[in-house]
Amino acid sequence: MFTDEPSMRGRCADAGVLPWTQDFLDYYLLEGNLEVDLPLLWDDNDVETQHVRNKYWQTLNKKLAKTYY
């Protein structure tokens, strides 16, 4: 089987598109993240929003490692 490195946003996705998958919200919450913080993923005004985005990407990469690799 041949495969390239995975792209979580898919080919030719807009830069504003954030990766998401079925049942990811459950996993996101189990990792200690809060659903009410999700709108902050599109806001880059302060340190708190950066922290939320960092936690999102850490959770997403952990999910990718668990399911793909």
pLDDT per position as a tens digit, 11-23: 666 667 888 888 9
In the predicted structure, residue 45 carries a pLDDT above the cut 80: no
CA 64 – CA 52 distance, rounded (Å)? 18
Query: How is the chain split into domains, by residue range?
Result: 24-67
CA 7 – CA 25 distance, rounded (Å)? 19
> Over the chain, what is the mean pLDDT?
84
CA 10 – CA 22 distance, rounded (Å)? 15
